[in-house]
Amino acid sequence: AASRELPMASASFRKELVVSAQAPVGKKDLKTLRKDVANAFPRLSLEQLDAVLPLTGEWNSLKLKTSGTVLYQLAGKPPAFFDLEGRGDLYPSLFTLWALPEMLDTLETHAPVSRPLLKGADLMLPGVVVPEGGLPPFAAGAKLAVRVTGN
């Protein structure tokens, strides 16, 4: 398959995203994807799942050329979920988190910390804004969203 630039999402990244393979997601695979998303993000209600991963419409999986990342995208819409290494470990896209911020526990950080994070740095505890009641409990390896104070 010919490489293609990924529309809509490419302006959000430092480098242009090049798609090495694109395939339609069949109904059976879409149902499996929905089940995987529901299991990975148990806070999602059925209505929320329907909003971000509807059974209708033309879904595509797009594999990025340089990283092996797989994006799941409804035709004409921004990506909804991605799998960094193509091994079934799903994450919501920023577009999905903007629509449903409650789907993940969130850590808050200071604005100056965001620049190194966007360049790939790890978030260290000194960069976390600890709320009055303390940090919520979370398991090692848990998926968490990170946001800048005030955003």
My answer on whether 51 and 68 are in the same domain is yes
Please state the domain count of the chain: 2
For the chain, the residue count is 151
What would the pLDDT profile of 79-130 be if each residue is shown by its tens digit?
Answer: 999 998 878 899 999 999 999 999 999 999 999 999 999 888 999 989 999 9
Say yes or no to pLDDT of 8 above 60: no
Range of the domain at 118: 105-148
Per-residue model confidence (pLDDT) at position 120: 86
State if pTM tops 0.85. no
Domain boundary among 100, 115, 130: 100
Same domain, 116 and 95: no
Residues 93 and 135 in one domain: no
Worst-scoring range by mean pLDDT, 26-35, 52-61, 67-76?
67-76
Residue 66 has pLDDT above 90, yes or no: no
Question: What pLDDT score was predicted for residue 141?
Answer: 86
Q: Are 71 and 91 part of one and the same domain?
A: yes
Same domain, 62 and 29: yes
Same structural domain, 86 and 134: no
- For residue 38, pLDDT over 60 is answered with yes
Higher-confidence residue of 2 and 17: namely 17
What is the per-residue DSSP string for 91-123?
A: EE-HHHHHH-GGGS-EEEE-HHHHHHHHTTPPP
Distance between CA 147 and CA 96 in Å, rounded? 14
The winner for highest mean pLDDT among 5-9, 42-46, 85-89 is 42-46
